[in-house]
């Protein structure tokens, strides 16, 4: 396993695969990938805003001339930090799981922009949202984004030149439709947000068992290089660590659910010392809330405002300036 440096920019993985990394991997700072063979190219995800995506595309074209006309774009899932730059990949066929496409249509960039632009009316939760994402990105022009033009249910095989690309929908997990992009010949997988390296993940959709099984699927493949949706390039040890996170927070939360604690009290207990060496510890609040819903068979949409309010209380008391997020400015 190569010891990859975690620096912004394009990293050659060998044999026609590249990872584009955007440290530090916190809220909105995501990774993407490029697969090339001959004159054909496939892009794995775009970035959170148009300037970031444009910068990435220039870097790719400088190294891989064929990337000037990307033929296929795969969106691994619906979140904006993996899709909001789609409109800059003008001629590509955009491939996604049907569940991802549905979610993108239900929550286009315009919905996100309402929260970004209205943060000052949203109390401490809005201030936290602005601190973590709103102030760091330039969301001008993301309206009327390009949506997927080809969808599939569970699995789809594509080719890039002579290279076989396997798309596997392992969702719902992080979102309703999470796709792994497996390149068997190169022993490489681009995971989208099924893998977070060095940072707390977000269990928006679940069930958590689907996510654990997605990790097991990756561990069962003959892969050496794992490009996460956020964080540095890892090997299978990074997958095992994320799996341990998921089973650990599941078990810690279940014990408190069975004991009758409220979800917010449970989260306050768990966040104190659970994977405290990882960034974005406030996400424990999201994960505990969604696990409570899972354990209670509550299928209602998450109360995002309520979750963010509880999360903001912890964030500003424990992880504000000088705390766990002191190094996250960009």
Could you tell me the CATH number of the domain that includes residue 156?
Answer: 3.60.15.10
Q: Could you say which DSSP state residue 199 is in?
A: B
In a domain? residue 211: yes
Stated pTM of the model:
0.95
185 token code pair: 């010949």
In a domain? residue 328: no
The domain of 45 spans: 9-318
Measure the CA–CA gap between 253 and 268, rounded to whole angstroms: 11
SS3 19: strand
Mean residue pLDDT across the chain:
95
- Helical packing angle, 283-295 and 236-258, nearest 10°: 60
At 275, the pLDDT band (50, 70, 90 cuts) reads: very high
Lowest-confidence region among 50-59, 117-126, 286-295: 117-126
Residue 286, beta-bridge partner list: none
In a domain? residue 4: no
In a domain? residue 3: no
Of all helices (H) and strands (E), which one includes residue 278? none
Q: Are 243 and 208 in contact (CB under 8 A)?
A: no
In a domain? residue 129: yes
Domain count, the chain: 1
Measure the CA–CA gap between 195 and 215, rounded to whole angstroms: 8
Query: CA torsion 266→272→273→277, rounded to 10°?
Result: 120
Residues 260-289: what's their mean pLDDT? 98
In a domain? residue 292: yes
Reported as a single tens digit per residue, the pLDDT across 65-86 is: 999 999 999 999 999 999 999 9
In a domain? residue 1: no
In a domain? residue 326: no
Reported as a single tens digit per residue, the pLDDT across 200-216 is: 999 999 999 999 999 99
Residues 153-172: what's their mean pLDDT? 98
Backbone angles phi, psi at 222, to 5 degrees: -85, 75
């Amino acid at each position: 396993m190569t010891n990859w440096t975690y620096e912004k920019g394009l990293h050659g993985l060998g044999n026609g695969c590249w990872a584009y990394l955007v440290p530090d991997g916190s809220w909105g700072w995501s990774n993407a990938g490029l697969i090339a063979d001959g004159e054909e190219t496939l892009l794995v995800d775009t970035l959170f805003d148009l300037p970031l995506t444009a910068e990435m595309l220039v870097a790719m074209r400088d190294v891989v001339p064929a990337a000037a006309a990307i033929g296929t774009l795969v969106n691994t899932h619906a979140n904006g930090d993996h899709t909001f730059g789609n409109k800059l990949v003008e001629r590509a066929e955009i491939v996604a799981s049907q569940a991802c496409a549905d979610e993108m249509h239900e929550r286009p960039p315009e919905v996100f922009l309402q929260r970004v632009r209205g943060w000052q009316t949203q109390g401490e939760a809005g201030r936290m949202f602005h601190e973590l994402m709103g102030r760091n990105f330039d969301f001008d022009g993301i309206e009327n984004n390009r949506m997927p033009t080809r969808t599939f249910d569970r699995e789809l095989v594509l080719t890039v030149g002579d290279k076989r690309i396997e798309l596997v929908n392992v969702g719902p997990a992080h979102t309703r439709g999470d796709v792994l992009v497996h390149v068997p010949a190169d022993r490489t997988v681009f995971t989208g947000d099924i893998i977070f390296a060095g940072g707390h993940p977000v269990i928006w959709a679940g069930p958590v068992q689907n996510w654990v099984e997605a990790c097991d699927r990756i561990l069962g493949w003959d892969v050496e290089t794992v490009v996460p949706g956020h964080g540095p390039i890892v090997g299978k040890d990074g997958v095992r660590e994320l799996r341990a996170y998921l089973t650990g927070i599941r078990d810690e939360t279940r014990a408190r659910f069975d004991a009758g604690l409220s979800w917010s009290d449970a989260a306050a207990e768990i966040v104190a010392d659970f994977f405290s060496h990882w960034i974005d510890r406030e996400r424990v609040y999201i994960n505990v809330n969604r696990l409570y819903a899972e354990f209670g068979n509550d299928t209602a949409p998450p109360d995002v405002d309520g979750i963010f309010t509880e999360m903001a209380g912890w964030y500003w008391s424990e992880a504000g300036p000088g705390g766990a997020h002191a190094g996250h400015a960009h």
